[in-house]
Amino acid sequence: MRRTEWVAVMPVKRLAMAKTRLRGAVPAADHARLVVAMAKDTLTAVLACPIVHHALIVTDEPTMVAAIADLGAQHVPDRPDTGLNAALERGAALAAGSPVVALTADLPALRPQDLAAALTALSYHPRGYVPDAAGTGTAMLAAAAGVALDPRFGPGSARAHAASGAVRLDGDWPSLRQDVDTPADLAAAADLGLGRYTAEFVGATRYGGA
Ligand SMILES: Nc1nc2c(ncn2[C@@H]2O[C@H](COP(=O)(O)OP(=O)(O)OP(=O)(O)O)[C@@H](O)[C@H]2O)c(=O)[nH]1
Ligand SMILES: C=C(OP(=O)(O)O)C(=O)O
């Protein structure tokens, strides 16, 4: 079965509370701009993926709401204090009937072809995940139409997704795996090649990560 109509779901936390492990990569006053730039690059790459039909961004962050509309994605209001997996469930419920891919909003080097290749690798499985570069987290979780997404993101999520029956997908998709949690991750993403928004931010501010 070919699955060419993926719906992407991406959660974005309120900026004031976001990316605490990344604090210090840039001065505090610029932290939110960096987090938004990374989310915009992730979303831009997701929307450029030829087998993604549309993207749902689950957030309560006002700054992101404007960016989501500009980039051509759909905003889904979050429910305060329910957390990342509840936000993903909310988006997935709206996409019921389509294959769903969940991604974190911290993949600023993501290339559409890496996402397409990973989704294509999933074709013969009902549900699968791609571990992040560290191997402990999850860069992508995807489920076929009619299959519950059952997201278990959070610390140690790669193991949690495997334990829940999701198939681990291995492939040469470095831009998909490179999430940015720390200043060192930002430097690694810069080595792979940052998307336009994060690259512009880094260029304008001359922050290059660790
Ligand atoms: N909507 C929503 N998104 C969330 C929530 N918590 C995390 N996220 C998003 O989920 C993705 C992965 O989250 P983390 O990498 O753990 O981000 P974080 O919690 O901002 O980072 P740390 O503070 O460093 O742990 C990012 O896109 C976050 O914006 C939440 O409660 N609601
Ligand atoms: C929430 C997760 O992301 P991160 O590694 O960015 O904390 C996860 O990997 O499950």
How far from 187 is each of 25, 106, 108, 109, CA to CA, in Å?
10, 13, 11, 11
pLDDT confidence of residue 16: 86
ipTM reported for the complex, 2 dp: 0.95
Q: Which residues are part of a known binding site for phosphoenolpyruvate?
A: 138, 154, 157
pTM, two decimal places: 0.95
pLDDT confidence of residue 185: 95
Q: Which sequence spans correspond to the domains of the chain?
A: 6-205
Contact 155, 200 (CB under 8 A): no
pLDDT confidence of residue 208: 56
Nearest CA to ligand 1 atom 12: 104
Looking from the CA of residue 10, the nearest atom of ligand 1 is: 27
Cα of 18 vs centre of ligand 1, distance in Å, is: 6
At the topology level, CATH places domain 6-205 in Spore Coat Polysaccharide Biosynthesis Protein SpsA; Chain A (3.90.550)
Please spell the DSSP secondary structure of 19-64, one letter per residue.
Answer: -GGGTTSS-GGGHHHHHHHHHHHHHHHHHH-TTEEEEEEEE--HHH
Report whether residue 75 contacts ligand 1, using a CB cutoff of 6 Å: no
pLDDT confidence of residue 130: 98
What's the CA gap between 164 and 141, in Å, rounded? 12
Alpha-carbon torsion 119, 163, 156, 145, what sign?
A: positive
Cα of 17 vs centre of ligand 1, distance in Å, is: 9
Q: Phi, psi at residue 13, to the nearest 5°? A: -75, 160
Consecutive 10-residue averages of pLDDT for the chain (210 residues): 78 90 87 95 97 97 94 95 95 95 98 97 94 97 96 98 98 97 95 97 71
How far from 148 is each of 16, 51, 164, 183, CA to CA, in Å?
31, 20, 11, 34
Cα of 14 vs centre of ligand 1, distance in Å, is: 8
Beta bridge mates, 11: 58
Residues with Cβ within 8 Å of 29's Cβ and at least 6 positions away in sequence, in order, are: none
- Which listed ligand is nearest to 155 at the C-alpha? 2
What's the CA gap between 88 and 102, in Å, rounded? 7
Cα of 179 vs centre of ligand 2, distance in Å, is: 8
Alpha-carbon torsion 107, 113, 116, 117, what sign?
A: negative
Nearest CA to ligand 2 atom 2: 154
Nearest CA to ligand 2 atom 9: 137
